[in-house]
Structure 1
Amino acid sequence: MNDTGGHQTVTEPPYRQHWKPPEGEELVTRGRVAFATGTAGRVEGRRWFRDPERRDIQGELIGWPAGPSYRRRSWFERFVWDGLVAILVLLLTLVFALLGGSPGQPEGLGRSEDPENEEKDFPVLWAAPGTIARTLPWQLDPARLPDTDVTELVLTDRRLLVLGGLKDPRNPWEEVLWETDRSTVAAIERRPFSVGQRNFRITFTDGSWCRLTSLEGEALLGHLTAA
């Protein structure tokens, strides 16, 4: 709060505004993201946080609040659920056919390039102790993030960042939750085995990686994977 000629003006903190790169740093792309969610069989609706020995490490991640613990769906659960879905799709198809319309088709999955981590298991964080991926913020997890909040991934010519903000456009605050030098990013690759092919993996130079999904589709993915 500043005093200017007897009149007081309120100066908002720096985070109470849309984030912009400092002078001399160029923005490449930015968009809303979250940790991905499994879509196939036994891992549908689930995600895990693993080390290279495939142990669950979410309890070891510093500063993370408690979150849900998932188990893979049993073959029986998968059989029953997939059977019900197939019956529902068939019924909808018949109903729309009688009405002269079409139920439409959901966005399909691409071919799995990594069944071990996409069908049998679904890690969205793969990180040994002391690696970069272990430092990612918990806000990227949809199961932990409040419904009022959003997370954005930002790529500049110097850095990769994660921003936190609010969905409410009337309160456009944003803060930096995490950042790393761009030199620590080894690769950003699209993962075709995902709904709408919106998933991508960021691999860091220390071998750790994370699997995210773009909530804005191609608008973000095209720039990330081309950078």
Structure 2
Amino acid sequence: MIEPSYRHHWKPPEGEELVTRGRVSFATGAAGRVEGRRWFRDPERRDIQGELAGWPAGPTCRRRSWFDRVVWDGVVAVFALLLTLVFGLLGGSPAQPDGLGRSEDPENEEKDFPVLWAAPGTIARTLPWQLDPARRPDPDVTELVLTDRRLLVLGGLKDPRQPWEEVLWETDLSTVTAVERRPFSAGKRDFGITFTDGSWCRLTSLEGEGLVQRLATAVGSEVR
């Protein structure tokens, strides 16, 4: 992990080219037992958030039980029916949320929802805790920055009147093997980054398709 450096409007050093940057966070489950939740796992699916160096304590998530799902899904169904009846009487129709479609990886998207998958000593374990919305102070934001040499995570403030940016993490671009969209997500904004040691993370982009496409192009991944 590099030492933090504080700068106004961060720019790469001379000789290094900025390719793209965009606001990101660890993703959040969107369906069934994992809705609104996220976990940090090793390859044995153990929860490792207590082992991550420098991370403050965060909330402990549990998967929704079958009973929870039945009750919650029933409430949602009743509410949707009431909305349909009301809008029917008013001559309109309620807005429908985007469907998630079918998961290509139900083990990691429906039964469990790891956003960090990392054995001891791997690159993903060095990612900064500020990427976690449940740990990060509300005024702060995190951005993923791609240069022609590195991938970085910056931390900063939302308030443009107090501009500062801190380099929280970086890795050489050569350590990234793939960037892939994760369409089974709210707004289809999630994507995964896989490193050469097999560790990976799942992030959500607030910048949309452009950021993911440029990241994938830089590492030679085909965005599906």
Paired residue type of 2:86: V
The residue aligned with 2:17 is 26
- Give the TM-score of the pair, scaled to structure 2: 0.92
**Contact 2:40–2:48 (Cα < 8 Å) also in 1:** yes
Mark the CA change 1:169 to 1:120 in structure 2 (over 3 Å): closer, same or farther.
same
CA deviations 1:119-152 (Å, max 9, x no partner) are 0000000000000000000000010011100000
Q: What is the CA distance between 1:76 and its match in structure 2? A: 0.5
The residue aligned with 2:26 is 35
The residue aligned with 1:133 is 124
Identity between Structure 1 and Structure 2 (%): 85
Question: For the residues of structure 1 that align with 2:134 and 2:163, how far apart are their CA atoms?
Answer: 23
The residue aligned with 2:176 is 185
The residue aligned with 1:201 is 192
Q: What is the CA distance between 1:37 and its match in structure 2? A: 0.5
Question: How many residues are aligned here?
Answer: 214
The residue aligned with 1:210 is 201
Q: Which runs of 5+ in 1 are unaligned?
A: 1-13
Q: How does 1:4-153 map to 2 (within 5 A)?
A: 15-153=6-144
Question: For the residues of structure 2 that align with 1:86 and 1:28, how far apart are their CA atoms?
Answer: 45
Q: Which runs of 5+ in 2 are unaligned?
A: 219-224
**Contact 2:150–2:173 (Cα < 8 Å) also in 1:** yes
Question: For the residues of structure 1 that align with 2:9 and 2:92, how far apart are their CA atoms?
Answer: 45
The residue aligned with 2:217 is 226
Question: For the residues of structure 2 that align with 1:19 and 1:73, how far apart are their CA atoms?
Answer: 41
Paired residue type of 1:54: R
Question: For the residues of structure 2 that align with 1:172 and 1:93, how far apart are their CA atoms?
Answer: 46
Paired residue type of 1:37: T
- Give the TM-score of the pair, scaled to structure 1: 0.91
**Contact 1:51–1:127 (Cα < 8 Å) also in 2:** yes
Q: What is the CA distance between 1:86 and its match in structure 2? A: 1.5
Mark the CA change 1:225 to 1:97 in structure 2 (over 3 Å): closer, same or farther.
farther
Question: For the residues of structure 1 that align with 2:185 and 2:124, how far apart are their CA atoms?
Answer: 21
